[in-house]
Structure 1
């Protein structure tokens, strides 16, 4: 063979000896690609005149292609001999009975222990070793080691095939042997030149990637690039190919058919005698099967096999992570334990298949009642757990508990049977009850037991205080639903007056609840409950309809009321809102200029692309839009420029300190100036003193609303006030 090819092979071998034990064989096997041309030349008979055919050489035995009497030894993972064939008896002189059960080290020469270490650590190798026969004779042997796997792919033992080397291989024989080993390797091998072009690949490369040698040679390794890795990772790999040092790791590659697959890769380089890099080689294996097995093991460890829900182990991990975040951000959360009543009777009467199907159906209903970020787990038999990892208010856990109970109301259809299931729920909250997942789960379980003992309680909080608050929340919700259908809700009207003329120029319709036993219920008590439970949709619709009905009634009596402002919840603000408003206006024959719609700043953060089309449609109908509580949330010039808002209302929290508080004065002045520049009407809420009124008037505020002029009053009182021409004294 030419000297240049031999020099390259020697350089590659030297490089391989610098690698660790697992990579030594892989480095040696890289010779195949470099020697393929030489291999073909050596096998080709001389055909041209004057050439002398190369001397014939005996075929070299290759592991895996030996005769039946080739010495073969099998061992368990600890290195103890389990199988000893006739070839091994003939080579070593030990009978099967003498060898089986002994540790393989009894065959080693005294100075060959490092080979044993390599063997036991890496389990696969090809080498020339020194061994000892029963007679004490030391001899050289060609040894091929491989792992034996069970049906599941797990290693269960080792196989050693060897033959005595009577005469050491010639360089040509060794190169052919190495070339054959490379070609037959089950690991993909590619070699690039100094220009990072692929110059050779083996058969396993084609099998793994789908690219033939002709398709790959001349390209760069980017041929296999998946796009999954960032620039820093790619730079690290490329640095290894440029000689920064051997690199081992896992990479996602892409097959010819576009499939992405994980691979274990080793990268190193070959240098010439001057230290210059001539080639880089990559040895890789498709580890998809191992990753899938790892994912299956992970799923078995963390998920319930019946329902597919997280199990107790994963629940604890997720709650622990949430608690760590809660400590930093002062967030609230809750943990629930749900125990199904008489669940075991389903197994007893209908069998295990029916019971399993019932559990699956229950888990699906529970999941549909929760947010995506909430965790639902099955922790034992008919017992589930729910982790609410981030809630705005602690009472929200009670709302979720009622949703979960409601999910069980409809019967379950199992094998032509209708099965009804009840449940009791215990709730612990963090950080109040505890800040470790073990205590939270224990407290929630204790609360669940208490709920079961109470009998009529569907859920119980671990804290007695929280339990009372949850009961109050539920009571308000129940009575609020009843109030909507029994005439307990009514509207009061708070006048708006002009700071130029002192005349009444409008009013805001404010919801009031007249409870038959407790009298007037403060809006601050029931409005949050209505928002949280969704009742605000029904209540908001009633407010708009009642305001339009009242305007129509006034009109019929000859009273031309000033425009009435109606508050909208962000929950009402959907694509169907303009149509619903239009229908109410037409039903009561109310013109759009008689109604103003007040929205809060929290609505604006939902995104202009969602809100602007709805607001534009309402404005096109002739409805004026006012921004309530301006300055308390997400105010910015960007909102005022984008949205068709005609009125800004200064929140009472900025009015109360006027004219003494410097910051309140500055904020009020900024809002008024902003509104004037944008040609918007400015209304100040909560004005209670003459000093506040005069300060706002001097700023240029257009209107005020507050107890200085009038509290919210009944429709009759408002009508009379307007008819009497009551004015605000501006002196």
Structure 2
């Protein structure tokens, strides 16, 4: 609203006709100083309160309205008193039982309050104005409101903390459980953030998954920590526990920016750094983050280009039988040949694709590329199963079954030659949907393996519900076996339990003769690791597999 007074009142602030003017206006009009002491009011205000002029003039409203500080009108008056900006509010008057519109203007060293009964048209205009400043879902003040508040704080010369809070898992909740449940999660998160604030602070929603906590002062870590603690508490919605994936970045106003856009840009850089570091603590913006962001933006563009233009390839890492040390299959591992960096592993670009929402597209490419390689190997007489890794987005998408069926038919590949490795943490995010997808794949005849077993939070009770044939022991356990008796006992126990429910066992990360010997002693079925063979291009794998196609016995192979 405008910070200017109606011209008639403005021109008469110091005239002796002020009281007559106020009475003629027919509105509730009050002049008060900065200490809330009333020095002039209209007859309508006296009728509204049921008091005499002597009971009002020279007194504060707290003296004759004991609950005034809890009324809907208190906050906008206090905001005008402290910020010296015009405010307005629409509220229900308990004295009259009517809806009233109140405007408050700063004048000289005090305030002018105007109030009247709100007509339907006035109520509608006010509501429209409020809607423009609110998020339609959570009713938190929005980006426009944030911009106005930051402008005012900067104008007043105030220092403040601008914290951007990003709920990184909201997109996944929408993908896996639908928009309705995502909306419920957003509303609950917004409520928690708002309840965690104290007077003088405010939470704003600026995008569907980003909020801003505005807090007076630049040395307020306790207040920031309190709000973040509320955000990080898991949500339980419809019987399901959700982690919001909270990351936070801090910019200091006005040091890091003199408007909301500049501060949000720099706080967002800090959020991105917090996500990259996988830290629960907020990251404070420093200028060097801008170079990091430029590098990240460049990498995103290069990765998108690689996905769109065939820049990725699949290397194959052989698997070997521990009984005969011959090749029994392979795992397809994605690689990217960067024009400057050479061969780049997935650790350097999968997170970028995840952040860009491109994991499903990558999964589809991997399926097609792997089937093509299986077909090439088959023409050379190598009917070896090749395993691929799919993201949680595909494993909770029932459409993946039909896409793989169509791919098998298009490449003329037998289903038993394709194996899908499932990370246990992924299927645990939506167990019931994952089970339906896995059973659909099993009915196709596709092989299924649990990858990196022991690093997540599944159990053998869940494994009996999944139609899998193979369990892969994570390399971290295998690498520690020779030095740690405890790790050795864990691996031996995993093998025994897996065999007891009819699963084949593959140990990843076998790099030494000692490790291979121990795994053989534990009756592990197969190994995969640098101790046998590194990942290699298709042509090299074909040659290696042909040379190691027949069992040779344990003693025929040394590392």
Per the normalisation by structure 1, the TM-score is 0.43
Match of 1:524 among 347, 365, 388: 347
Distance 1:389 1:693, change over 3 A: farther
Q: Deviations over 1:569-621 (max 9, x none)?
A: 11112111110000000011101111111111122213332111111111111
Match status 1:724 vs 2:547: yes
Q: Deviations over 1:307-334 (max 9, x none)?
A: 5423379988xxxxxxxxxxxxxxx973
Q: Deviations over 1:200-248 (max 9, x none)?
A: xxxxxxxxxxxxxxxxxxxxxxxxxxxxxxxxxxxxxxxxxxxxxxxxx
What does residue range 475-494 of structure 1 map to in structure 2 within 5 Å? Answer: 475-494=298-317
Q: Tell me, yes or no, if the aligned pair for 2:256 and 2:266 is still in contact at 8 Å.
A: no
What does residue range 490-509 of structure 1 map to in structure 2 within 5 Å? Answer: 490-509=313-332
What does residue range 226-245 of structure 1 map to in structure 2 within 5 Å? Answer: none
Q: Tell me, yes or no, if the aligned pair for 1:335 and 1:444 is still in contact at 8 Å.
A: no
Hey, what's the Cα distance between the residues in 2 that align with 1:313 and 1:554?
56
What does residue range 128-277 of structure 1 map to in structure 2 within 5 Å? Answer: 149=96, 152=99
Q: Tell me, yes or no, if the aligned pair for 2:471 and 2:504 is still in contact at 8 Å.
A: yes
Match of 1:334 among 133, 151, 164: 164
* 2:302 aligned counterpart, secondary structure: helix
Q: Hey, what does 1:568 align to over in structure 2? A: 390
Q: Hey, what does 2:479 align to over in structure 1? A: 656
Match of 1:703 among 503, 526, 539: 526
Hey, what's the Cα distance between the residues in 2 that align with 1:713 and 1:370?
47
Q: Hey, what does 1:361 align to over in structure 2? A: none
Hey, what's the Cα distance between the residues in 2 that align with 1:679 and 1:708?
27
Distance 1:572 1:441, change over 3 A: farther
Distance 1:467 1:561, change over 3 A: farther
Q: Deviations over 1:335-390 (max 9, x none)?
A: 69xxxxxxxxxxxxxxxxxxxxxxxxxxxxxxx999946879xxxxxx99447359
Hey, what's the Cα distance between the residues in 2 that align with 1:592 and 1:370?
41
Q: Tell me, yes or no, if the aligned pair for 1:684 and 1:705 is still in contact at 8 Å.
A: yes
* 1:633 aligned counterpart, secondary structure: coil
Distance 1:562 1:388, change over 3 A: same
Q: Tell me, yes or no, if the aligned pair for 1:685 and 1:706 is still in contact at 8 Å.
A: yes
Hey, what's the Cα distance between the residues in 1 that align with 2:437 and 2:462?
15
What does residue range 318-397 of structure 1 map to in structure 2 within 5 Å? Answer: 334=164, 372=186, 385-386=206-207, 388=210
Q: Hey, what does 1:623 align to over in structure 2? A: 446
* 2:461 aligned counterpart, secondary structure: helix
What does residue range 247-646 of structure 1 map to in structure 2 within 5 Å? Answer: 304-306=130-132, 308-309=134-135, 310-311=140-141, 334=164, 372=186, 385-386=206-207, 388=210, 433=250, 445-447=261-263, 462-556=285-379, 558-573=380-395, 574-646=397-469
Hey, what's the Cα distance between the residues in 1 that align with 2:461 and 2:526?
24
Q: Tell me, yes or no, if the aligned pair for 1:650 and 1:685 is still in contact at 8 Å.
A: yes
* 1:642 aligned counterpart, secondary structure: coil
Q: Tell me, yes or no, if the aligned pair for 1:498 and 1:505 is still in contact at 8 Å.
A: yes
Q: Tell me, yes or no, if the aligned pair for 1:601 and 1:634 is still in contact at 8 Å.
A: yes
Give the superposition deviation at 1:666.
2.7
Q: Hey, what does 2:488 align to over in structure 1? A: 665
* 1:625 aligned counterpart, secondary structure: strand
> Which structure carries more relative contact order (alpha carbon 8 Å, separation 6+)?
2
Q: Hey, what does 2:49 align to over in structure 1? A: 77
Distance 1:612 1:312, change over 3 A: closer
Q: Tell me, yes or no, if the aligned pair for 2:163 and 2:249 is still in contact at 8 Å.
A: no
Match status 1:678 vs 2:508: no
Hey, what's the Cα distance between the residues in 1 that align with 2:524 and 2:361?
35
Per the normalisation by structure 2, the TM-score is 0.56
Q: Tell me, yes or no, if the aligned pair for 2:317 and 2:330 is still in contact at 8 Å.
A: yes
Q: Tell me, yes or no, if the aligned pair for 1:647 and 1:683 is still in contact at 8 Å.
A: yes
* 2:130 aligned counterpart, secondary structure: coil
Hey, what's the Cα distance between the residues in 1 that align with 2:266 and 2:384?
57
Distance 1:506 1:78, change over 3 A: same
Give the superposition deviation at 1:466.
2.9
Q: Hey, what does 1:289 align to over in structure 2? A: none
Hey, what's the Cα distance between the residues in 2 that align with 1:699 and 1:471?
50
Q: Tell me, yes or no, if the aligned pair for 2:423 and 2:450 is still in contact at 8 Å.
A: yes
Q: Hey, what does 1:22 align to over in structure 2? A: none
